[in-house]
Amino acid sequence: MIEFHLDRGSGVATYLQLVHQVRHALRLGVLRPGDRLPTAREVVDQLAINPNTVLKAYRELEREGLVSGRPGVGTFVERSLGQTSMGDRARLRADLARWVLDGRRAGLDLEDLEALIASVLTDSYREETA
């Protein structure tokens, strides 16, 4: 079973943090089809967060077809997520390293680069969810 954790200062909505952690666990194979997700009550006992937030995260995962809720039984993983290959990861990392070097040559410091990445990520995911 997955154990959720929270980054309270991250500025990422709590339900999205839960969604990301499930997706991540699916990608890593930590969660597999048939596995049960913790109930809202179990997550509440662990993290002291709003149960509606947990249900909202599960609805989002259900909408994506990753999990399905069975009333009175629980929420179960329906399918795994394609795991990125080591080759893809290596290539993306090299691309990003080049981009960072480029940025530093242009005079951007660590915080500028972080802000830029955060802003592109935000825009990208916002377009996805809109």
Partner 1 sequence: MTALRTEGLGRRYRRTWALRDCSVALPSGRVIALVGPNGAGKSTLLHLAAGLLAPTTGTIRAFGRPVRESLERIAFMAQGKPLYSGFRVAEMLAFGRRLNPRWDDAAARGRLAELGIPFDRRIGRLSGGQRTQVALTVALAKRPDLLVMDEPLADLDPLARQDMMRGLMAAVAETGLTVLLSSHMVSELDGTCDWLTVVNKGRVQVSGDIDELVAGHRLLTGPAENADALAARLPVISRGGTGRQATLLVRDTAPLPDPRWTGRPVSLEETVLAYLRAPDLAALPRPALTSLG
Residues at the site binding partner 1, with contacts judged by CB under 8 A: 6, 8-9, 11-15, 40-41, 44-45, 47-53, 56, 115-116, 118-119, 122-123, 126
Nearer to partner 1, 49 or 66 (CB): 49
Q: Give the shortest CB-56-to-partner 1 separation in angstroms.
A: 8
Nearer to partner 1, 2 or 55 (CB): 55
Task: Give, in degrees to the nearest 5, the angle at Cα 104 between 103 and 107.
Answer: 95
Cβ(1)–Cβ(38) under 8 Å? yes
Nearer to partner 1, 41 or 104 (CB): 41
> Whole-angstrom Cα distance, residue 70 to residue 26?
19
Nearer to partner 1, 85 or 124 (CB): 124
Q: Give the shortest CB-29-to-partner 1 separation in angstroms.
A: 28
Instruction: Tokens for 7, please give them.
Output: 């980054």
Q: Give the shortest CB-125-to-partner 1 separation in angstroms.
A: 10
Q: Give the shortest CB-71-to-partner 1 separation in angstroms.
A: 15
> Whole-angstrom Cα distance, residue 40 to residue 59?
12
Q: Collapsing DSSP states into helix, strand and coil, what is residue 65?
A: coil
Cα dihedral sign, 35-32-24-62: negative
